[in-house]
Amino acid sequence: MSADNSSGEQYLDLPGGRTLAYAEAGNISSKAVVLYLHGSFTIGDASKLSPVLLSKDIHFISPTLPGWGNTSPPPPSTSYNDCLTSDMTALLTHHYPDSNIHDIKLYISGGSFGTVPAQILYGAPYDKFPFG
C-alpha cells in the first residue's frame, strides 16, 4: 500500500488507479495531527520539522496535492474540491483505520498556495471530509 524511498516520500494507492504521495514525521501514533499542505511548485515535505512541533508529540503529515509531484491529478469527471477531500480522507483513514474520527485532533495548515486547499478542507461538509 505505501512504499518508502530515499527521499522519505511515501505512496498511498487510491481508488481508480490514482496515487497520493506524502511525507510524514513525528510520532506516527499520535492523535494530534498537523496536516500541512504545500505551496506552489513544491511537494509534500517533512524533512525539516520544527523542534516545537516535535516537542508537542504530534504526527506531521504533508501530502503532495492532486496533480503535483508524484500525486495523480484529479479524474476528469471529479471536481478539485471532491478530489481533495476524498484524497485527504483516504490518507487520514489509512493512518488511523481503527480510530474514532472524533478522537483525532486535526490541525489543517498550508503555506502560500497551500492555504487554498487548507480552506477547502476547513469548509468542507462532514459528509465529504469527516475529519473536519
Domains annotated on the chain, with CATH: 10-123 (3.40.50.1820)
CB 88 within 8 A of CB 38: no
pLDDT category of residue 1 using cuts at 50, 70 and 90: very low
The 3-state DSSP class for residue 55 equals helix
Q: b/e string for 4-21 if b means 16 or more Cβ within 10 A?
A: eeeeebbbbebeeebebb
- Give me the percent of the chain exceeding a pLDDT of 90: 89
Would you say the pTM of this structure is higher than 0.85?
yes
Confidence (pLDDT) at 131: 95
- Gap between the Cα atoms of 114 and 97, Å rounded: 26
pLDDT in tens, 64-74: 999 999 999 99
CB 111 within 8 A of CB 44: no
- Gap between the Cα atoms of 87 and 82, Å rounded: 8
pLDDT in tens, 81-121: 999 999 999 999 999 998 888 899 999 999 999 999 999 99
Q: Is the pLDDT of residue 11 over 70?
A: yes
DSSP string over 66-129? TTSTTSPPPPTTS-HHHHHHHHHHHHHHHH-TTS-GGG-EEEEEE-GGGHHHHHHHHHS-TTT-
Residue among 48, 47, 17, 31 nearest 96 (CA): 31
